Amino acid sequence: MALTHLVAFNIALLAAIASPGPALLMAIKTTLGAGRRAGIAVGAGLGLVAALWTRCWGSRRCLSFFPGPIRS
């Protein structure tokens, strides 16, 4: 990989990390609009969903719902 490709990739990566996603914007909006308790609840819910999604994606049971190149 050329140095220019590496620099371009890192710039794109930094831009993606720095930009807020819809989940973060929802958490901020909820916290500012409904208070700290609601913001913590939204954050906990987002964390739980992310953990379940990660766990589900790794299991063969969930992968069986998505036909494609992954075969047993």
Give the pLDDT confidence of 11-59 residue by residue, as tens digits. 888 888 778 888 889 999 999 999 999 999 999 999 888 888 777 766 6
Give the torsion sign (CA, 44, 47, 53, 58).
Answer: negative
Higher-pLDDT residue of 52 and 72 is 52
Structure confidence at residue 1 as a pLDDT band (50, 70, 90): low
User: What range does the domain containing 43 cover?
Assistant: 22-72
pTM confidence score:
0.56
Structural domain includes residue 11: no
Domain count for the chain = 1
Cβ neighbours around 27 below 10 Å, total: 20
Residue 35 lies inside a defined structural domain of this protein: yes
| Closest CA relative to residue 53, chosen from 38, 41, 65 | 65
Is 3 a domain residue? Answer: no
